[in-house]
Chains A and B, each alone.
Chain A
Amino acid sequence: MHVEEKFTDATWPAAPETATLEGKNKYLGFWLFLGGETVLFASLFATYLALKDKVPDSGMLLAKDLYEIPLTFAMTMILLTSSLTSVYAMYHMKNNSFQKMQTWLLITVVLGFSFLALEVYEFNHYVHLGHTFTSSAYGSAFYTLVGFHGAHVTFGLMWFLSLMLRNAKRGLSLYNAPKFFVASLYWHFIDVVWVFIFTVVYLMGMVG
């Protein structure tokens, strides 16, 4: 199959993301990239665990004094839902229904932005409590781990948006289907990382 080929619903392949060699390469390459990203986050998690609650003087706030489980639980739910909506988008991509895919992607993006907004609120809140990037080793490690994730979310949103805008007028092809697909893989990955952050940082932060 060829990238510039025109398709009808009937001829559209079941797995458009891997129908061309370019697509196959992108798909595999991106999975490998996520393998590297996993090690990256693992290193950040390890650093965070080593520096958790390491502060210069005993008056400073620690994990159990800071974290707000209701807020972060809401963030978790929002991000998990956005993963689900991106699955719907990919479902429609595989059925060659471009508009429905765009709609679900838009919902995904909106959810992503609300997650980010809550994160900004959360960070701002902590900063006002005196827990900053430079206040302690704990602060540096916290903002670096969670902030790296937040940066990934931001990049993912930009990626979705530029794909949606770029292809708004011309619909799906075997050229852009792999692009949509790997962007959604990236989104799932971000989501999984967040599940670990919620567990390791926030939940385990409450038990001390």
Chain B
Amino acid sequence: MSTYAKKQGFGATLWDFMTTVDHKKIAILYLISGGLFFILGGLEAMFIRIQLAVPDNNFMSAGVFNEMITMHGTTMIFLAAMPILLGIMNAVMPLQIGARDVAFPFLNSLGFWMFFFGGVMLNLSWFLGGAPDAGWTSYASLSIHSQGHGVDFYVLGLQISGFGTLIAGINFLVTIINMRTPGMTYMRMPMFTWTTFVVSALILFAFPPLTVGLTLMLFDRMFGANFFDAAAGGNTIIWEHLFWIFGHPEVYILILPAFGIFSEILATFSRKRLFGYSSMVFATVLIGFLGFMVWAHHMFTVGLGPIANAIFAVATMAIAVPTGIKIFNWIFTMWGGSVRFTVPMLYAVSFIPSFTMGGVTGIMLAAAPADYQYHDSYFVVAHFHYVIVGGVVLGILAGITYYWPKIFGTMLNETLGKFTFWLFLIGFHLTFFIQHFLGLWGMPRRVFTYLPGQGWDISNLVSTIGAMFMAVGVIILLINIIITSVKNVRVGNDPWGDGRTLEWAIPSPPPFYNFKQLPLARGLDAYWIEKMEGKKEMTPAEPLGDIHMPNGSIIPICITFGLFVASFGALYNMDADKPWTIPVIIIGLLITFGSMLIRSIKDDHGFHIHKEDLMDDKDKEVKA
């Protein structure tokens, strides 16, 4: 496959990305689309803050405001944060364990396209009669009665993108269990790989309840079922349970990869191994496990009774223990290290106090009786933005900056990076710190405006100004990306100079087969060990030989496109005046199942890169 290095036209590149099964290219697809959705969600956030900047504002109507907050939350969680993290996992995890690709390259591509089409579907609602307006939690009591098709777009969009995420989760689990390079035992895996592992397990067990919840909602809204219709014996609390059995693990699905990223960064730029590695692993697994035991803390005020509330309150507080272990380990990693304050390190250092504040308010919320006061107020908004923005988004910004050279082969500008960092950090605290107090002063969440003279005016204005800071920070990041890509200064294997793990032992970006010879991992921080012994490369674990690679395929797009078409049929099926919906459903499903059939009937054995070709390009390297 010598076409790899050739310069391609735009069409060919597009086709390449549409059919690729290479985890590094799929990672780029995730990052680009996740990034676009992040910008979209960010714009929605700005509109929300503009509306709330002053009392009695009429920048947008109450109805549009509801659509705006729903789409902001849904977009940020499902279409921005998660895909960007999946992108970083795709880019980095296989390299960290010394694998040539993930276990199921074809499914990897399928998972991406499902996320992508699901996201497009959800956002098309803006143009097709209105976006969903029942909140990102879409409680059945609201969503069942929501007019128009907004909620249907929510249900189908999330259903499709949820399948994609589930596929990615299974894929990563199998990859980590089966494809580690010789010597890479579980307890030698880099922390980011560990968090990917645990997060994938969370995805596997958390997404099916969401699938079921969405299916019930779909049946109720589109096919006349009565799950949530009290008049016919239904019960809306079922939705709340299903949603939060998914929803709480989901917040850990978001934060654990960020924990992993920060663990890598803190060790790298402290030039020390991660403090308490095994307790970090233990804490990660424990957080993953406890994450499933606490969902009802979102339902304290539903009236489940004092015993249920007490059990869930205690379980929730227990999560603070493993989280605390992590916080201290990070601090001890820096302790006595020779710390370098690069941009990723700045994010990491500021993450620790920011996230801890979110954890502290979490514990406050976990006290069930007190939660009756906090619930559905801006205090909750402040809490989850402290953990999500102060944890997940800082993690994403840090991860993007840190792994940029490995993914794209160029280094983002550090000065511009520092501008982004400071603007974003200051803006973040400016926006959300005051919201704690707004909540305590009685401002409810999800209100489209408020009357003057309640003591909320200045605080809301401050919050909006903070949001502007963050927006400017993100714009500078975009400028940084453009400048860096235009300059296109290529970097070597280990551009930060202190890389510890396998991904830094190979070129940036790596060749499409990643490792010419699988590396031998001789301990935790395998590359660092070799460096300490004065070597420049990893010790190979196998002789140079043929490498087996999978073929690209257009079928993943076809499968997903069929589902996309069928969804439109299902969505309009409830309108009596649209007889074309049934044929559309059938055509869509035919496309999907037809493509699946083709996939299973057509043998695809992949291809081999021959040993001689590999040697050739080794010689070339030596000459250059």
The interface of chain A, by Cβ under 8 A from chain B, is: 3-4, 21, 24-25, 28-29, 32-33, 35-37, 39-40, 43-44, 46-47, 50-51, 54-56, 133-141, 144, 162-163, 166, 175, 179
Q: Are A3 and B178 in contact (CB under 8 A)?
A: no
Chain A contacts for B223, CB-based, 8 A: 133-134
**Contacts A32-B174, A51-B234, A133-B224 supplied; 8 other A-B pairs, CB < 8 Å:** A29-B103, A35-B205, A43-B242, A43-B245, A137-B229, A137-B234, A137-B235, A140-B216
Q: Are B178 and A28 in contact (CB under 8 A)?
A: yes
Q: Which of A24, A29, A43, A51 contacts B171 (CB 8 A)?
A: A29
Q: Are A32 and B170 in contact (CB under 8 A)?
A: yes
Q: Are B225 and A56 in contact (CB under 8 A)?
A: no
Beyond A28-B177, A36-B205, A162-B601, whether A134 also contacts B216 by CB under 8 A is no
Chain B contacts for A51, CB-based, 8 A: 227, 233-235, 238
Q: List the count of A-B residue pairs having beta carbons below 8 Å apart.
A: 112
Chain B's closest residue to A60 (CB) is B233
Q: Are A37 and B234 in contact (CB under 8 A)?
A: no
- In whole angstroms, how far apart are the Cα atoms of A99 and B9 in the complex? 51
The 24 sampled A-B contact pairs (Cβ below 8 Å) are A3-B605, A25-B104, A29-B171, A32-B170, A35-B204, A36-B166, A39-B208, A43-B245, A47-B238, A51-B227, A51-B235, A56-B233, A134-B225, A136-B232, A136-B233, A137-B226, A139-B226, A140-B225, A144-B225, A144-B227, A162-B600, A163-B600, A175-B605, A179-B600
**8-22 of chain B: CB within 8 A of chain A:** none
Chain A's closest residue to B212 (CB) is A43
Quick check: is B307 within 8 A (CB to CB) of the other chain?
no
Q: Are A25 and B174 in contact (CB under 8 A)?
A: yes
Q: Are A166 and B216 in contact (CB under 8 A)?
A: no
Q: Are A36 and B208 in contact (CB under 8 A)?
A: yes
Beyond A25-B103, A32-B173, whether A140 also contacts B178 by CB under 8 A is no
- In whole angstroms, how far apart are the Cα atoms of A79 and B50 in the complex? 61
Q: Which of A33, A136, A163, A179 contacts B226 (CB 8 A)?
A: A136
Chain B's closest residue to A158 (CB) is B593
Q: Chain B contact residues (Cβ within 8 angstroms of A): what range?
A: 35 or more
Q: Which of A21, A24, A134, A179 contacts B224 (CB 8 A)?
A: A134
Dominant SS among interface residues on chain A: helix
Q: Are A36 and B232 in contact (CB under 8 A)?
A: no
Chain A's closest residue to B227 (CB) is A140
Quick check: is B207 within 8 A (CB to CB) of the other chain?
yes
- In whole angstroms, how far apart are the Cα atoms of A40 and B226 in the complex? 20
Q: Which of A21, A40, A54, A133 contacts B178 (CB 8 A)?
A: A21
**205-259 of chain B: CB within 8 A of chain A:** 205, 207-209, 211-213, 215-216, 219-220, 223-227, 229, 231-235, 238, 241-242, 245
Chain A contacts for B605, CB-based, 8 A: 3-4, 175
The interface of chain B, by Cβ under 8 A from chain A, is: 103-104, 166, 170-171, 173-174, 177-179, 204-205, 207-209, 211-213, 215-216, 219-220, 223-227, 229, 231-235, 238, 241-242, 245, 597, 600-601, 603, 605
- In whole angstroms, how far apart are the Cα atoms of A3 and B603 in the complex? 11
CB distance from A152 to the nearest CB of B (A): 13
Chain B contacts for A138, CB-based, 8 A: 233
Chain A contacts for B104, CB-based, 8 A: 25, 29
- In whole angstroms, how far apart are the Cα atoms of A137 and B207 in the complex? 24
Q: Are A40 and B208 in contact (CB under 8 A)?
A: yes
Q: Which of B212, B220, B603 contacts A40 (CB 8 A)?
A: B212
Chain A contacts for B205, CB-based, 8 A: 35-36, 39
Chain A's closest residue to B200 (CB) is A32
- In whole angstroms, how far apart are the Cα atoms of A25 and B213 in the complex? 30
CB distance from A157 to the nearest CB of B (A): 14
- In whole angstroms, how far apart are the Cα atoms of A33 and B245 in the complex? 18
Q: Are A137 and B233 in contact (CB under 8 A)?
A: yes
Beyond A47-B212, A51-B234, A134-B225, whether A28 also contacts B601 by CB under 8 A is no
Q: Are A144 and B216 in contact (CB under 8 A)?
A: yes
CB distance from B594 to the nearest CB of A (A): 12
Beyond A25-B104, A29-B170, A140-B227, whether A39 also contacts B209 by CB under 8 A is yes
Chain B's closest residue to A39 (CB) is B208
Most chain A beta-carbon neighbours within 10 Å: one of B211, B220, B227: B227
- In whole angstroms, how far apart are the Cα atoms of A37 and B211 in the complex? 11
Chain B contacts for A163, CB-based, 8 A: 600
- In whole angstroms, how far apart are the Cα atoms of A195 and B440 in the complex? 52
- In whole angstroms, how far apart are the Cα atoms of A15 and B103 in the complex? 20
Beyond A25-B103, A50-B235, A51-B235, whether A141 also contacts B227 by CB under 8 A is yes
Q: Which of B220, B227, B242, B600 contacts A166 (CB 8 A)?
A: B600
Q: Are A36 and B207 in contact (CB under 8 A)?
A: yes
